[in-house]
């Protein structure tokens, strides 16, 4: 019973968080378009893919992990999740390019480190899904690997949001 309640709540909150990501898209575009419209589009697309694909679609189209065959829901869930995760991973790369254009070397370095850590943690999570190696220590904990990967994928978004809040507060004080 607890599993059903947890999964149900997770799915609802997945959709809710996806809606918040989608609602943030105009602000992300507006903030970044001052430097580069092209990068603003790519950054917005990356977050949009995540919010729609990995949050909303996976929340609305849940899958039965016990079922061996793929249903329509499984296809939508897995494709949405894959596209969303790709957006998740590419977000810091686009920020590196944006901050390079702005000449903000420190920010560029921060996001380079976050991008590398995101790729490494995503690689570990990917390995945890491979049957030939997922019995190795740490890789045998797929849920743990997924949470670590998601933490390091969320971190660039959180750092970006905090930076934007600080930047706006500085603007107001002038």
Q: How far is CA 110 from CA 49, 70, 91, 95, in A?
A: 23, 40, 13, 10
Whether the pTM exceeds 0.85: the reply is no
Whether residue 1 is predicted with pLDDT greater than 50 in this model: the reply is no
Q: What is the pLDDT of residues 41-100, one digit of tens each?
A: 999 999 999 999 988 988 888 776 666 677 888 888 888 888 988 998 899 999 999 999
Domain ranges of the chain: 2-173
- Could you tell me which residues come within 8 angstroms of residue 29 by beta carbon, excluding any fewer than 6 positions away? 40, 41, 43, 44
Q: What is the pLDDT of residues 105-149, one digit of tens each?
A: 999 999 999 899 988 888 888 888 888 887 888 888 888 888 888
């Amino acid at each position: 019973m607890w599993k059903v309640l947890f999964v149900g709540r997770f799915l609802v909150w997945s959709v809710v968080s996806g809606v918040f990501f989608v609602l943030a898209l105009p602000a992300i575009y507006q903030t970044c378009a001052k430097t580069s419209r092209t990068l603003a589009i790519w950054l917005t697309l990356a977050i949009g893919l995540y919010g729609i694909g990995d949050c909303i679609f996976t929340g609305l189209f849940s899958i039965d992990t016990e079922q061996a065959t793929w249903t329509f829901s499984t296809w939508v869930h897995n494709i949405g999740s894959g596209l969303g995760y790709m957006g998740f991973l590419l977000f810091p790369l686009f920020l590196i390019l944006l901050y390079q254009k702005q000449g903000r070397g420190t920010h560029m370095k921060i996001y380079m480190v976050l991008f590398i850590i995101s790729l490494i943690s995503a690689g570990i999570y990917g390995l945890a899904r491979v049957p030939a190696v997922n019995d190795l220590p740490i890789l045998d904990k797929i849920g743990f690997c997924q949470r670590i990967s998601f933490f390091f994928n969320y971190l660039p978004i959180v750092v970006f949001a905090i930076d934007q809040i600080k930047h706006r507060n500085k603007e107001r004080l002038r």
